[in-house]
């Protein structure tokens, strides 16, 4: 099979445990793009928090893409054009806040380039560190969200969130997409908007067939794109659910697992040098 696109989750997939791209993986991705492959960064992260990696991998130079907010935004890096977007209305955010209060867990969202929460917690602080975005603590969460937002997160330790994830997937079925990106991040986007659906949209826009796409990830929010892609890849450090759905299990994020995928499956030259 000849592939044309590789799609990468960022945290614990593309990035090592110290949140960097290893030299070997960077070289492999730059070489793949030079040979004509499209590279897509597909993350739950806000777009703002993905540009450093996009610049390091020269996605603009090669006409590659960012798929951020778990698929709620798709960006053409060459033009900085948003070619797809999805948002949650303030009344939906208010409803999610009510649910978070009912479940006794924290919630946050993004207003501009800031993370907003009304319940200080260590997991929102982790998001601030990962994204480089300031965390703003407000007294009234609903009053702070007066315009549509791209997504919301509920936050707690993994043991607490696991049953809540299952319950809310049933409770909100057909209304919102619900998935965990990390054990302590439970993410909410518009119904039908996932990494998988946005990847399908992007591939169609580019004239790339489903069977020509490789998608790599480690977490539950990567499942939709791993299952959709022609070759779904689980990282060696992925959870057991992801590994069970994947077509191929590569090395871990700390062992250049993405470079291993490229060396194994992306050997063709798609463009004339």
pLDDT in tens, 164-201: 999 999 999 999 999 999 999 999 999 999 999 999 99
In this structure, the dihedral spanned by the alpha carbons of residues 12, 168, 46 and 65, taken in order and rounded to 10 degrees, is 70
Q: How large is the average pLDDT for residues 63-81?
A: 97
Structure confidence by residue, pLDDT tens digits, 12-57: 999 999 999 999 999 999 999 999 999 999 999 999 999 999 999 9
| Contact residues for 165 (Cβ-Cβ < 8 A; gap 6+) | 178, 179, 180, 186, 220
What pLDDT is stored for residue 271 in this prediction?
A: 83
Catalytic amino acids?
9
Taking a C-beta distance cutoff of 8 angstroms, is the pair 110, 151 a contact? yes
The percentage of residues in the chain with a pLDDT greater than 90, rounded to a whole number, is: 98
What pLDDT is stored for residue 71 in this prediction?
A: 96
Q: Strand runs (DSSP E) across the chain, as ranges?
A: 5-8, 38-42, 65-68, 73-76, 81-85, 106-111, 114-117, 135-137, 152-155, 176-182, 185-190, 213-217, 231-234, 248-249
Taking a C-beta distance cutoff of 8 angstroms, is the pair 40, 10 a contact? no
What pLDDT is stored for residue 213 in this prediction?
A: 98
Reference 217, options 200, 197, 238; nearest CA is 238
Give the residue, 273 or 112, on which the prediction is more confident.
112
The percentage of residues in the chain with a pLDDT greater than 70, rounded to a whole number, is: 99
Q: What domains can be seen in the chain, in order of their start residue?
A: 5-85+193-265 (3.40.50.1000), 90-190 (3.30.1240.10)
User: In the structure encoding, which two tokens stand for residue 78, read together?
Assistant: 């060459």
Helices and strands: H and E segment counts in the chain: 10, 14
């Amino acid at each position: 099979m000849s592939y044309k696109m590789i799609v990468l989750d960022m945290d614990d997939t593309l990035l090592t445990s110290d949140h960097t791209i290893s030299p070997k993986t960077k070289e492999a991705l730059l070489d793949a793009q030079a040979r004509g492959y499209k590279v897509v960064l597909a993350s739950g992260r806000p777009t703002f928090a993905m540009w450093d990696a996009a610049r390091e991998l020269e996605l603009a130079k090669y006409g590659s893409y960012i798929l951020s907010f778990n698929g709620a935004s798709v960006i053409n890096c060459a033009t900085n054009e948003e070619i797809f977007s999805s948002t949650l209305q303030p009344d939906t955010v208010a409803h999610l806040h009510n649910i978070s209060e009912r479940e006794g867990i924290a919630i946050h969202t993004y207003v501009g380039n800031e993370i907003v929460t009304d319940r200080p917690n260590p997991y929102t602080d982790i998001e601030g560190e990962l994204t480089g975005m300031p965390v703003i603590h407000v007294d009234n969460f609903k009053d702070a969200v007066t315009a549509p937002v791209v997504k919301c997160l509920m936050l707690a330790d993994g043991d607490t969130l696991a049953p809540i994830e299952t319950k809310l997937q049933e409770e909100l079925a057909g209304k919102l997409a619900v998935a965990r990106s990390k054990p302590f991040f439970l993410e909410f986007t518009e119904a039908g908007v996932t990494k998988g659906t946005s990847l399908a949209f992007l591939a169609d826009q580019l004239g790339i067939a489903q069977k020509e796409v490789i998608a790599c990830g480690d977490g539950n929010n990567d499942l939709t794109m791993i299952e959709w892609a022609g070759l779904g890849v689980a990282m060696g450090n992925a959870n057991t659910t992801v590994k069970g759905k994947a077509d191929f299990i590569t090395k871990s994020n700390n062992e250049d697992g993405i470079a291993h995928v490229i060396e194994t499956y992306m050997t063709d030259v798609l463009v004339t040098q």
